[in-house]
């Protein structure tokens, strides 16, 4: 095993800030729909809109960071070992089977994670952002002069936004499980906090990945 600098400072900041904002948006969003009662409807709407604005700014910075650092390549889906990875999560991990893929600095995600995260970033998050913005603008037509949406259109937008919220809840639950599937139960969580993680050495017949421990940006 070799300790590698896997997650950079901004990556960890973006991950934890996004996670906190999504949880808060979920709580306030479900209160707006009447599922829970905590802040009160008016305050929940105000807090939800404010947190959504912060999340949109964070996403903009994250997109810029991913493309300038090349980290966007981490999410390119692949079919190789996809079935083996799914079977590992369902059966193999409970039988102490070996992990079907090897995590490296240049390949942090396994095939199943790549597929799920790509869908999240390309479909779910943009859908939530666009539908949320349309919903916010509709609520204040006199102020923002958005007059083209009607009540029927608003209902469809709200349903799409709510569907995205339930998909995010499902992802959050699955993500909590995936956190525990590292080398140890807490190794993935610890790595996302401190940035370093112990990874297996490359096979002797394969070239080793470049060491990224010197780049703490």
pLDDT at 210: 42
Q: Tell me, what DSSP letter sits at residue 196?
A: E
Q: Provide the token pair at 118.
A: 């790509």
Q: Where are the beta strands (DSSP E) in the chain?
A: 2-5, 196-199
- The CATH superfamily holding the domain 2-199 is Transmembrane di-heme cytochromes, Chain C (1.20.950.20)
Q: Is residue 201 a contact partner of residue 1, using CB atoms and an 8 Å limit?
A: yes
pLDDT digits (tens, 9 = 90+) for 67-107: 999 999 989 888 888 888 889 888 888 888 888 888 888 88
- What is the average pLDDT across 188-217? 66
- What is the average pLDDT across 139-154? 56
182-216 in b/e form (b: 16+ CB < 10 A) is beeeebbeebbeebebebeeeeeeeeeeeeeeeee
Checking if the pLDDT of 162 tops 50, the result is yes
Average pLDDT, the chain: 83
pLDDT at 215: 46
The residue behind tokens 């959050």 is 172
Residue ranges covered by each domain of the chain = 2-199
- What is the average pLDDT across 39-53? 92
């Amino acid at each position: 095993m070799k300790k590698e600098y896997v997650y950079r400072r901004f990556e960890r900041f973006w991950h934890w800030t996004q996670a906190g904002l999504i949880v808060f948006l979920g709580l306030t969003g479900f209160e707006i729909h009447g599922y829970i009662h905590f802040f009160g409807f008016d305050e929940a709407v105000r807090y939800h809109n404010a947190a959504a604005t912060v999340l949109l700014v964070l996403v903009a910075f994250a997109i810029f960071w991913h493309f300038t650092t090349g980290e966007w390549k981490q999410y390119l889906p692949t079919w190789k070992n996809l079935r083996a990875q799914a079977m590992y999560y369902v059966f193999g991990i409970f039988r102490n089977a070996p992990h079907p893929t090897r995590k490296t600095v240049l390949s942090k995600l396994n095939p199943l994670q790549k597929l799920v995260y790509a869908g999240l970033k390309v479909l779910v998050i943009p859908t939530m952002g666009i539908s949320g913005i349309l919903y916010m603008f509709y609520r204040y037509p006199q102020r923002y002069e958005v007059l083209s949406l009607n009540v029927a259109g608003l209902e469809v937008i709200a349903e799409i936004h709510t569907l995205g919220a339930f998909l995010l809840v499902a992802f959050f639950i699955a993500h909590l499980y995936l956190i525990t599937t590292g080398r140890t139960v807490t190794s993935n969580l610890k790595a996302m906090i401190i940035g370093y993680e112990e990874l297996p050495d490359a096979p002797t017949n394969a070239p080793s990945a470049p060491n990224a421990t010197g780049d703490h940006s």
